[in-house]
Amino acid sequence: MNKYEIMFIVKPDVEEDARNAIIENFKKVLTNTEGTVDNVNEWGLRDLAYEIKDYTKGYYVVLDTTTTPANIAEFERLSRINANMLRHLTLRRD
């Protein structure tokens, strides 16, 4: 098990209930096999540095997690196909 920091940006026009459901679903993916989500830090709606898919704002979420590489691979696969996700970045922490 490794420690990771994951930042993802959700489209700003997603309703609060749907956004919370997205966050919970991704937390379940990371805790699927013995993983834990240590911290969820919602930065909220912020300006993007550059326009992404015609959006100038996005809802930022940062997750600190301890999980397996297989769970990270599944998270990244699902975030690439999720229509409400603008970007994601996964960093392995030492």
pLDDT value at position 79?
92
Tell me the domain boundaries of the chain: 2-93
Give, in order, the Cα–Cα distances in Å from 78 to each of 11, 30, 46, 81.
15, 11, 23, 5
Give, in order, the Cα–Cα distances in Å from 42 to each of 27, 49, 54, 62, 69.
13, 18, 22, 6, 23
pTM of the predicted protein model: 0.87
Query: Considering only the top CATH level, what class is 2-93?
Result: alpha beta
pLDDT value at position 94?
77
The pLDDT tens digits for 1-47 are 889 999 999 999 999 999 999 999 998 888 888 888 888 989 999 99
